[in-house]
Amino acid sequence: MSFSVTEPNPATKWLAGLLVVGYAVITLIPLLWIIATGFKSPTDSIAYPPVVLFEPTLEGYVNLFTDRTRATEQMLAEAGPPQTWYDEIARARGTVISGPSRYGERFLNSVIIGFGSTALCMILGTAAAYAFSRFRVPLKDDLLFFILSTRMMPPIAVAIPIFLMFRNLGLNDTHIGMILLYTAVNLSLSVWLLKGFIDEIPVEYEEAALIDGYTRFQAFYKVVLPQAATGIASTAIFCLIFAWNEYAFAVLLTSGTAQTAPPFIPNIIGVNGKDWPAVAAGATIFLVPVMVFTVLLRKHLLRGITFGAVRK
């Protein structure tokens, strides 16, 4: 490496690295604590002083996925020996498993609504972004500003009329309603991000295709779409994460059939009040996929959070 005045000296680098790693470790503690608590027994989870080394148990996960009832000695004796390992964990606490909990359903709702809205959003968003990028659309800047401004609205304020509208249309607490709503909220992000990605594809490719006799549609899906694939994929992940994490609309507009996981997880209660290992287990299952996606997205993070303005 050649000498450069702007290259920090090794000591500076060391110190900077040390400070950043220190911050990263501190910031990770709450997340690691969630994951660890999921594997603790109820006693360990509320021990003082907090325990770092403990005997891991799957009790939290069993409690998360099952409903249990308290059983008397006699009932336990009548029920016979435990059939499965999770039965055994429940029996050890003097309870019997009465059935699966709601968590599985709620998680599935999150998956359906997340992926459904992302798919719809990508179809609409790619088409609109292509048009904004390539054609002279009247009032283009105003329309783009309008699209972005819809994202800025406080969700609670928008929720009042949407609640009324959905009630009249019978869309309250339905998957379709939530998919449409999240699609609308995410469209601003997808249009702005995708427009940036499509702007970067040279127009000459399409022009060549058009001269070769492609129609506009063919040029769009045979030339532009494959080129924009990375951009579309990362935009899709951003939309998915948003729909996955969304809480305000979910808590106001869904209660039963279409409720997603975020409003559900905080309300998990055990037999003796708040069951923190179960809450932590639910949170872990819910949060870890997002962390994986974050690692996949790392090159495009900045673009995503600034609506494509900062590209690096």
> 152 by DSSP, 3-state: which?
helix
Which among 26-34, 56-64, 77-85, 98-106 is the span making contact with another protein, rule CB under 8 A?
Answer: 26-34
Beta bridge partners of 100: 66
Taking a C-beta distance cutoff of 8 angstroms, is the pair 264, 103 a contact? yes
Q: Does 12 bind another protein (CB under 8 A)?
A: yes
Residues of span 35-54 touching another protein by CB under 8 A: 37, 46-50
C-beta closer to another protein: residue 65 or 130: 130
Reported as type and span, the H/E element at residue 237 is helix 229-245
Show the CA angle centred on residue 254, arms to residues 248 and 257, nearest 5°. 145
When asked if residue 221 is in the footprint of another protein (CB under 8 A), the reply is no
Angle at 166 between CA 163 and CA 168, to 5 degrees: 110
Q: Is residue 179 a contact residue for another protein (CB under 8 A)?
A: no
Closest CA to 272 of 65, 94, 75, 52: 94
**CB closer to another protein, 71 vs 284:** 284
The token pair that represents 215 in the structure block: 């129609």
Indicate the residue type of 109: N
- Is the Cβ of residue 79 or residue 233 nearer to another protein in the bound state? 233
The interface with another protein within residues 55-114 (CB under 8 A) comprises: none
Residue number with CB closer to another protein (95 or 110): 110
- Residues 135-164 binding another protein (CB under 8 A) are 135-137, 143, 145-150, 152-164
- 263 is an interface residue for another protein by CB under 8 A: yes
Among 111, 119, 124, 225, binds another protein (CB under 8 A): 124
* Residue 174 or 218 with smaller CB distance to another protein: 218
CA torsion angle 71 74 80 84 (round to 10): 20
Site for another protein in 280-309 (CB under 8 A): 280, 283, 286-287, 290-291, 293-295, 298, 301-302, 305-307, 309
- For 281, the token pair is 């287990």
Do 178 and 253 meet the contact criterion of CB atoms below 8 Å apart? yes
**Per CB under 8 A, which region of 58-66, 88-96, 111-119, 120-128 contacts another protein?**
120-128
Q: How many helices (H) and strands (E) does the chain have?
A: 17, 4
**143: DSSP letter:** H
Q: How far is the CB of 85 from another protein (least distance, A)?
A: 27
Cβ count near 205 (within 10 Å): 13
The one segment of 54-62, 66-74, 84-92, 180-188 that binds another protein by CB under 8 A: 180-188
User: Of 191, 198, 223, 224, which lies in the binding site for another protein, with binding defined by CB under 8 A?
Assistant: 191
Say how many residues touch another protein, by CB under 8 A: 104
- CB closer to another protein, 19 vs 229: 19
Helix (H, G, I), strand (E, B) or coil at 309: coil
